[in-house]
A and B are shown apart, each in its own frame.
Chain A
Amino acid sequence: MSMNVVILLYLIASVCFIQALKGLSHPTTSRLGNTFGMVGMAIAVATTVALIIKLAGETVGNGLLYVVVGIAVGGTIGTILAKRVQMTKMPELVAFMHSMIGLAAVFIAVAAVAEPTALGIQLIDRQIPFGNRLELFIGTFVGAITFSGSVIAFGKLSGRYKFRLFQGAPVVFRGQQLFNLIMAIAMIGCGLWFVATQAWLPFILMAAIAFVMGVLIIIPIGGADMPVVVSMLNSYSGWAAAGIGFSLNNSMLIISGSLVGSSGAILSYIMCKAMNRSFFSVILGGFGAEEGTTVDGGEQRPVKSGSADDAAFLLSNSDSVIIVPGYGLAVARAQHAVKEMADKLIASGIEVRYAVHPVAGRMPGHMNVLLAEAEVPYEQVFEMDGINSEFGQTDVVFVLGANDVVNPAARTPGSPIHGMPILEAFKARNVIVNKRSMATGYAGLDNELFYMDKTMMVFGDAKKVVENIVKAID
């Protein structure tokens, strides 16, 4: 197989990847798109095997054996993860997978520095060309930051670990930004030293500092900003792949990496916009102390609280219901119970719709996947812009484990979340809010919605509450 054929096959694979993303513009075309992605990957891998056979000569069997072992191990792990993961745990899985790409990029760069010719880098005077060295430096540090940043993000998302850095609350210390700046300068210094000399010492130092930087970048970011962080790391993993593509002079890697990089960047932008926060204020962090700090001190204001039976009565005597799911629904894994409740209501002629805020949950589109898992037809699920005008004509809005995304304070000038687009639940005739307690949301703000006359609070675990409502409707 000539090199030209290899490159053309790589081009076909790249086009398949573009098709994979294009398919996601609608649920009906998305599965075909995913198949395109798989075909593209299969073409890329098969072509590379052919390339290895062409280049390796005598030792080819041995070399391919290593490849097969690697794919078998990684493929098994990946398959098991994909089959077993719960939909509520998708953010963790995605963060974990970002870290895989980051680390793989670093390993490839190390291999490329150790044996450049094996990876197709043409040497000049037995040295890696200047341009490739620069690209290796960039690929390595982006990969290293992606890896360690994603590990921290994974810990924060899973929330199961005692380790301080893995907790949702931001880690902030004095002079943090100055310290980060010094680290960044040191890293770039070592990188340039490597570019100038091609020595191992600066390369290792640079990679080590980059790993630490990844940790430092993510720790000051609070739990509420995780959708931005996950999207941002998504973007980084793409740039890392593109960086490796530059070093290896492989256009397919550059194309795929750029697609992923721009995808992550757009998602970060959408998430920031949905929280009305600038990208830089998220990155600099320190926002959203911790979930569940009950506002103590100040006035204790009365709320109207009710039981599941009261909620069931209200719901079954309405004509239209909008359900607003939030992170609380994911934590309680209440999606199936919610679907069951909605089915009951629909069966008695009540219109049921779902309103999803862009930052509900811990990653973009988190709620949509949970609702889809519970087999909620996607025609019933609406984005914020599509449903906000409907709240005024709705009998009951049922807020399940969401808080800041329905907080009318976003319309009050001077509020910390002023300007954040919200779901206008407060316009409905009746509001039922399910929460575990009166704790504030991530923004640490009291929610005016909870104190309104038309609002009934139903405290408790989302799943239990909804199950009780289902029983009570019967």
Chain B
Amino acid sequence: MEAISPTIFNVIIFVLAIYVGYHVVWNVTPALHTPLMSVTNAISAIVIVGAMLAAALTETTIGKVMGVSAVALASVNVFGGFLVTRRMLEMFRKKEPRKPGSTKQGAPK
């Protein structure tokens, strides 16, 4: 039997992952759609893995410059995405004693 191309396996993973994503995302409550977008921003920053390989293992200038820039761009999202999501989700936490306006994070200056 001839060998199966790795691309075919990738396609299988791709299709199944879309299927999983479809079902998981439909269960997200509409109130959390903004945190959903910011956390998906952070998750798509997974390209940092490719960027790290490029930054560390390339030898030419163009490879290095591209790699390091891509690492920096992706880390903006890794840190920014998860942290801003956490900040938002903290706001959705149930408040016990209510003091109006007591914990205004990032209140307008």
Contact string against A for B residues 80-109, beta-carbon threshold 8 Å, 1 for contact and 0 otherwise: 111111111111111100101101111110
Contact A104 B73 (CB under 8 A): yes
| Given contact pairs A26-B29, A84-B106, A254-B14, A38 touches B41 in the complex (Cβ within 8 A) | no
Report A-chain residues with C-beta under 8 Å of the C-beta of B67: 66, 70, 107-108, 111
Count of A-B contacts with CB under 8 A?
406
| B38-A90 in contact (CB<8A) | yes
**A237 interface residue (CB < 8 Å to B):** yes
Question: Which secondary structure dominates chain B's binding surface?
Answer: helix
Checking B28, B35, B66, B71 against A369 with a beta-carbon cut-off of 8 angstroms, the contacting residue is B35
Mark B4-28 against chain A: 1 for CB-CB distance below 8 A, else 0: 0111011001100110111011111
| Contact, CB under 8 Å: A41 / B52 | no
CB<8 Å pairs between A and B, sample of 12 = A56-B57, A63-B56, A64-B56, A66-B71, A73-B72, A81-B80, A97-B41, A112-B50, A114-B60, A246-B14, A248-B53, A381-B31
Report yes or no: B10 in contact with A249, Cβ–Cβ below 8 A.
yes
The contact of A103 among B22, B43, B73, B103, by CB within 8 Å, is: B73
Q: What is B's interface to A at a CB cutoff of 8 Å?
A: 5-7, 9-10, 13-14, 17-18, 20-22, 24-60, 62-64, 66-95, 98, 100-101, 103-108
Contact residues in A for B77 (Cβ distance below 8 Å): 74, 78, 97, 100-101
Assess whether A108 is in contact with B80, with CB atoms less than 8 Å apart: no
B26 to chain A, nearest CB (A): 6
Please tell me the number of chain A residues within 8 Å of chain B, measured between CB atoms.
123
Known: A262-B21, A372-B88. A17 touches B66 (CB 8 A): no
User: A111, A340, A374 — which one has the most chain B CB atoms within 10 A of its CB?
Assistant: A111
Q: Do A257 and B31 have beta carbons less than 8 Å apart?
A: no
Given known pairs A253-B47, A368-B31, the reply for A114 and B66 (CB within 8 Å) is: yes
- Supply 10 further A-B pairs (C-beta < 8 A) apart from A115-B63, A259-B17: A30-B89, A71-B75, A75-B79, A101-B41, A252-B46, A259-B20, A260-B40, A267-B33, A336-B107, A375-B91
User: Within the assembled complex, what's the spacing in Å between the Cα atoms of A34 and B29?
Assistant: 15
Q: Which residues of B contact A69 (CB under 8 A)?
A: 68
Closest to A89 in B: B106
Q: How far is the CB of B87 from chain A (nearest CB, A)?
A: 6
Contact B43 A20 (CB under 8 A): yes
Tell me whether A87 and B31 are in contact in the complex, defined as CB-CB below 8 angstroms, given that A20-B43, A21-B25, A340-B100 are known contacts: no
Fill in one digit per residue for A278-304: 1 if any B CB lies within 8 Å of its CB, else 0. Answer: 000000000000000000000000000
Stretch at the interface among A169-177, A357-365, A442-450: A357-365
B94: nearest chain-A partner, CB-CB: A377
How long is the Cα–Cα vector from A241 to B17 in the complex, in angstroms?
Answer: 13
Of the listed residues B20, B59, B79, B93, the one surrounded by the most CB atoms of chain A closer than 10 A to its CB is: B79
Contact of A74 among B10, B24, B29, B71 (CB under 8 A): B71
With A69-B68, A108-B47, A369-B91: A24-B28 Cβ-Cβ less than 8 Å: yes
**Contact of A363 with B56 in the complex, beta carbons under 8 Å:** no
Which residue on B lies nearest to A384, using beta carbons? B30
* A264 on interface, CB distance cutoff 8 Å: yes
Distance to closest chain B CB from A360 (angstroms): 11
Residue in contact with A111 in the complex, picked from B6, B62, B100, CB distance below 8 Å: B62
Known: A24-B28, A90-B34, A111-B58. A83 touches B79 (CB 8 A): no
Q: Tell whether A78 pairs with B24 under 8 Å between CB atoms, given A24-B35, A114-B62, A254-B14.
A: no
